[in-house]
Each structure stands twice: as structure tokens, then as C-alpha cells.
A and B are shown apart, each in its own frame.
Chain A
């Protein structure tokens, strides 16, 4: 696939340095030091291509796609499932349906129309998602753990699933139609099992490549693999097996920590490389353009909270 990225920060959305310093001072932030959520946002934006279609799910993808639009992929078209095509985001939306997400978009329609007219027809390069669990082949679970069924449909006497998550929303469809999955997740061992108990969306190959278990042999006619951006590293589907492999590692993260936080024996990708630390220009945009209220960026992971203690 052809890759075009706008990597010249001079052509990104402009943020004045003096204003940035004042902002950091007001919020008590170090102008050069990044947090985990900032890293996730920047890492996700770096994966996107310019002139691509980014179908963004709710949650972290809201700020991920906004970051992409203001930096590496200024001409990428953002799609949101409530009916939005190609908005110009100037305030981060908290929902795929809110008016902030629809500002200056080309068309507004309805949900079925968005999936039909854009995704099913092939205008969906990246499927940007979040998830609760991710397995060896890039399948996400955002539905339930501890048995799917609710009380009246269970046979084990329990009152319902141990933990119920939000459910698919558009995640299943975005993952089904996207040329490439792009999921943003916090990495913990229990969230990265070898096999998911419930599969809500297949962002990657689904099963071993070229077997009846892969996504295409199950009936999905699009997709090429996935990129999972975690808070420790970046995983990519192996082009030979479909397994997720460690592809890039963040500065200061020990490889063993990544290995210890997945449940399968993790391999390193052939073209494994270190991930370049987020730089000043990226941080300026993430903080001041994308989320000055720190709605997403102000969140802390369990690992960060533990480190603070």
C-alpha cells in the first residue's frame, strides 16, 4: 500500500510556543514529558496515512483521529458511525454522534447509511477502535467476561456475566470492513489472553492465516491485519501467520515487561524497531489543539497510578 504522511511539523496546525508554555504552566505539565494517554494518542496518529479513510469508534479513537487530522494525515477523511463524513475537528467530541464531531463535515446522515454508503462500499482504510480484551490474532472483546449470557438464558445458576462491557456498538462492523485494524488499548496480562472468551470484533486475521479459521474463510471480504497500539508497545499481525508480534517498543520500556503482559509466547517482528519518543511538536498539538480540557489525556492508567505511589 502506498504510504503518504505529512511529517513536516511546519505544515501541521500551528501552536504558538509561548502560549504552549503558559498552558503547561497553568495545567502543571512538563512541556517535554509525555503521559501514557498522550503517548497512545500520538502513537495511533503516527500509524495513519494521509489521504486515507479513518473510521473512528468511540473512546480513545476520538482523540486519536483528531490528532491524525491535525498532524500526519491532514487530508484523511474521518468517518463516525452516527452519520458523519469528513468533519474538521476543532474540539474533541465525547461521542461519535455529537455536534462537535460533525463540524464542517461533508454530509450528515444516519447510522445504517454511514456503514452502507462508506464502509460496505470500501471507503474505510483504518478501523480505529478501543477494546477491553485482545487475543493472539487481534480479536477484540468489548462485550462480556465470565459467561456472555444474562440470567434467564444461563444454565450455571449465576445471575449474569461476571463483567459486562459496553458491547459492540459499531466496533464489529468497523473491524469487519476496514482494510486495516488500528486498536488503542491499555496492556495488562488479563486483557491480552491467548483466546478471547467472547469475540466482538475481528480486527486482525481472526485465526491462523490460510486456514479455515482466518477472517476471509469465515466470510469477511476485506481486511489485511491489524495494528494494536498499547501503552507499552505496538503489535502488528505477522504477514506469515497472522499472530500479533511485537513490532515497535516505546522508549524506556523493557521487552520483558511486554512479554509478561500477554498470555501467549510473544514473538518479535522481523522488522522490529524502537519507537521514537513523542516530540515537542506532537505534544503541543495533542495538548492544545486536541484536548485542552484533558478529557482523554488527563486519564491515568493503573501502571501510572502504581508508579506514582
Chain B
């Protein structure tokens, strides 16, 4: 086999790239991109900031687990399509304002799933399944709404190719359970059902004629997610791609493995052997990682479990900023990311918003370090 045909995952150290090269290589205008992490935790913010620096527009963002990266991208006007479950910033801002405004003013088109519905799509994507079975979403408006379908983005063109290669031909489908609910617990185990479950309506469900017109248990099938690129943050990545995510995984492992390419932002790139000494703790196999970027503290202003805590004061101030005029927010976010990540990390933390200690730059990052026993910084001042 000629050297040029060696698959990426066999090329070893070639995977280690600079932040700007990784983004330039894998993320193009219109790319279907899946940001990892969950809300404030383990979000690959360094990669997200580089996307803003390179001004990559018309992104199709598919995501589960909180909207903080999508919020920055919507603020910078980079998002066109959104396939998601939740656009809030949880406890700090119930609805991420730039995302909300972009949906309301027609800049962004959005398709909604529930978290488990989407989570099962990532499981299907991970295992290469054609679909996964879902037992919730029944009885709700999810069943009757399909944005991408109404936009004509589903299905095939006359030449037989997919209209949009990252959008499934149907949002979901309902089938009659060929096993008549046999697998649904609580089940008639001898001596009880063995769970704490106290309500079992399976017999009523067997009488249900909803969705198909026939009596019986129904199952929703959801399609896999097949993003072109997933970006994740991992505490440690081996030089050939073996990845260890510590703390809450959120949707990361499934989303990374579902994608065509995965770019990993690492707190530290380490020797493979360091991770292979305890292979049971590694979460993503080496061949699924296509590029590795080392950015210590690159998860700022978010939290990276066991490494550092989120910058509460930044988020509190940001949720005031993002309610300003759209053009002003756009200018703010483009200015905030600065010309490169190192300049950003050494000057932006603690800059331009009130903090209790008054520290700035690397000193502030140092101050946010987590206590290993907790995974966060106990007693971090979080004034409302």
C-alpha cells in the first residue's frame, strides 16, 4: 500500500496540530459540526474561539447538552442550521439570548429533539446502527413537527443523492413493537419486578391505537447523528489519539465516535503508554481521533473537572452583555476572542468584568484550579 493511502489513524504523530491548522483543516463554511461537553463543563472553548477568529460561517450545528458554544457562535453570526435539544445556559441564563434571538429573527432554523431522543441518535451513530428505539416523546408536539422536513432538506434528489448528507430522510418513525412490549420492564419476574418503579401502564398501552391505528405497544425510531466533525475537550489525549475523559462524560464519547472526523482539544498531550497503563479508564479509541490540539486552560471560561472551575463572574457579566443590540454583541464576541489563543488566555480572564479578587490573565486561571477531591473549586464565590 502506498504511504499516501495509510488511513489517518495509522499515521501517529501527524494528528498533533496547531489550533489554527486543526480548525482550518476540518471546519469549513457549512460544515455539520457537533460541539462536545455539557453546558459549562468540558466545552472545547479554545476550538470554538478559533472558529470565530477564522470567521467560518453558515455552520450546521448539531448538539446535545447545553448551548454555551452555540451561544458564542450565534453571537458572532456563524450559525445557519441547528439540530438540538436545549438552547439554555441552565442556572445562569434560562435561554441563551443570542441563540433565542437568532431563531426568533429568522437567522437560524432549528429542529428539536428530546435529550434521550438525541442521546439515542448518538448511540446509533456510535454503533453504526440505522436507528435506535425510543419510548418517550409520545403524546407531545415533537411527534407533529419537523422543521428540516418542511424546509425540504430531507430525502433524496432526482439523481439519487441525499438532499443534505447530514440530515436523515425522516425526523423519526413510529413502528408497532414486534415483541409486544415483552422487553419493557417492570416485567413479570418471579418475586417482583426488581426496580423501584411504581406505575406500570403496559396493559393500557396495549389498548392504544395511537399513531398507527392498530392496537399495541408502539416504538419511536430515531436516526443516527452523522456529523462531519465533532469537537471535544479531553483532559488527556495520547499522541496517537487514545483519549481519556475524566468526570462527567455527557454526550462526548458517542458524539466523537459518530462523527466522520473528531478534533480533540487536550489539556495535555501525553505519551500513549501513560494512558495505556490503565486502558479501562480510556474512553475513546485512538482511531476515532483525527486531530489533537494541546491548549492548557482552553476550556476557560468553562469548567474542566479535576483541572479548573468555571469563571462564574465572566458568565454573570456575559449574560448582561448578550442582551445588548445584536451588532454590539457581535462586535463584543469578535473582539473578546483576540488574535490568538495564547494572547486570549494571558489577557482575557478577569478582564472587562467585575471580579472579587481582581486577578487577571494567567493569575486568574491559576486561582480557578480545582481541588482534586471535589473535581471543582470548593467555596468558589458565586454571588448572583
Report yes or no: A99 in contact with B200, Cβ–Cβ below 8 A. no
Report yes or no: A98 in contact with B210, Cβ–Cβ below 8 A. no
Query: Which residue in chain B gives the minimum CB-CB distance to A90?
Result: B378
Is A228 in contact with chain B by the CB < 8 A criterion?
Answer: no
Residues in A with CB closer than 8 Å to B248 are 82-84, 97-99, 102, 108
Residues 281-295 of chain B: 1 if any A CB is under 8 Å from the residue's CB, otherwise 0? 000000000000000
Q: In whole Å, how far is B227's beta carbon from the nearest beta carbon of chain A?
A: 16
Is A176 in contact with chain B by the CB < 8 A criterion?
Answer: yes
Measured between alpha carbons, how far is A98 from B299 in the docked complex, in Å? Answer: 13
Q: Is the interface of B mostly helix, strand, loop or mixed?
A: loop
Among B66, B138, B139, B208, point to the contact of A97 (Cβ < 8 A): B66
Residues in B with CB closer than 8 Å to A220 are 135-136, 138-139, 201, 205
Among A84, A112, A198, A221, point to the contact of B135 (Cβ < 8 A): A221
Query: Which residue in chain B gives the minimum CB-CB distance to A213?
Result: B139
Report yes or no: A161 in contact with B247, Cβ–Cβ below 8 A. no
Q: What number of A-B contacts does a CB cutoff of 8 Å give? A: 295
Residues in A with CB closer than 8 Å to B185 are 121-122
Among B88, B147, B199, point to the contact of A166 (Cβ < 8 A): B88
Residues in B with CB closer than 8 Å to A115 are 115-116, 119
Report yes or no: B39 in contact with A97, Cβ–Cβ below 8 A. yes
Residues in B with CB closer than 8 Å to A298 are 384
Query: Which residue in chain B gives the minimum CB-CB distance to A201?
Result: B140
Report yes or no: A202 in contact with B139, Cβ–Cβ below 8 A. yes
Residues in A with CB closer than 8 Å to B275 are none
Report yes or no: B87 in contact with A83, Cβ–Cβ below 8 A. no
Report yes or no: A169 in contact with B100, Cβ–Cβ below 8 A. no
Report yes or no: A98 in contact with B140, Cβ–Cβ below 8 A. no
Measured between alpha carbons, how far is A60 from B20 in the docked complex, in Å? Answer: 40
Report yes or no: A110 in contact with B252, Cβ–Cβ below 8 A. yes
Report yes or no: A112 in contact with B122, Cβ–Cβ below 8 A. yes
Which residues of B, 22-41, contact A by the 8 Å Cβ criterion?
38-41
Which of B115, B138, B186, B201 is packed against the most chain A CB atoms within 10 Å?
A: B115
Residues in B with CB closer than 8 Å to A122 are 185-186, 193, 195-197
Is A13 in contact with chain B by the CB < 8 A criterion?
Answer: no
Residues in A with CB closer than 8 Å to B195 are 121-123
Among B122, B150, B197, B200, point to the contact of A153 (Cβ < 8 A): B150
Query: Which residue in chain A gives the minimum CB-CB distance to B184?
Result: A221
Among A110, A143, A215, point to the contact of B141 (Cβ < 8 A): A143
Residues in B with CB closer than 8 Å to A103 are 374-375
Which residues of B, 83-128, contact A by the 8 Å Cβ criterion?
84-88, 90-92, 94-96, 100, 103-106, 108-110, 112-117, 119-120, 122-123
Query: Which residue in chain A gives the minimum CB-CB distance to B112?
Result: A167
Closest 9 A-B residue pairs measured CB to CB? A94-B91, A122-B197, A176-B136, A151-B106, A166-B88, A112-B119, A159-B106, A218-B139, A97-B38
Q: List 29 A-B contacts (CB under 8 A).
A: A58-B90, A90-B378, A95-B38, A99-B248, A102-B248, A110-B250, A119-B116, A120-B135, A122-B196, A123-B195, A125-B198, A139-B140, A150-B108, A153-B148, A160-B104, A164-B104, A166-B94, A169-B115, A170-B115, A173-B117, A173-B137, A199-B139, A218-B138, A218-B208, A219-B205, A221-B205, A222-B199, A293-B384, A295-B384
Q: Which residues of A contact B (CB under 8 A)?
A: 1, 51-53, 58-59, 62, 81-84, 90-91, 93-100, 102-103, 108-112, 115-116, 119-125, 139, 143, 148-153, 159-173, 175-177, 179-180, 198-202, 206, 212, 214-224, 293-296, 298-299
8 new A-B contacts at CB < 8 Å, known A176-B138, A219-B135: A100-B374, A103-B375, A125-B196, A125-B198, A166-B94, A198-B141, A218-B210, A220-B135
